[in-house]
Amino acid sequence: MPEATFIVQLDDFHGFLVKERYPSSLTLNEKILNLIFYEHQKDKKEDLSYSNVEGMKIAAYHSLQYPRWMVCSILSAEEDFNLLRAELAGSGRLILALLQLIRTHSLWKRY
Q: Give the start-to-end residue ranges of the domains of the chain.
A: 4-104
- For residue 52, list its beta bridge partners: 57
pLDDT in tens, 58-91: 999 998 888 889 999 999 999 999 999 999 999 9
Across the chain, where does the E strand assignment appear?
A: 4-11, 15-22, 47-53, 56-62, 69-75
| CATH dotted code for 4-104 | 3.30.450
Q: Are the C-beta atoms of residues 60 and 70 closer than 8 Å to each other?
A: yes
Give the pLDDT score at 86.
94
Largest pairwise CA distance in the chain:
39
pLDDT > 80? residue 92? yes
Distance CA 48, CA 70 (A): 10
The Cα 25–Cα 97 span in angstroms is 25
Residue 102 near residue 111 (C-beta atoms within 8 A) = yes
pLDDT 10s digits, 21-65: 999 998 888 888 888 887 666 666 668 989 898 899 999 999 888
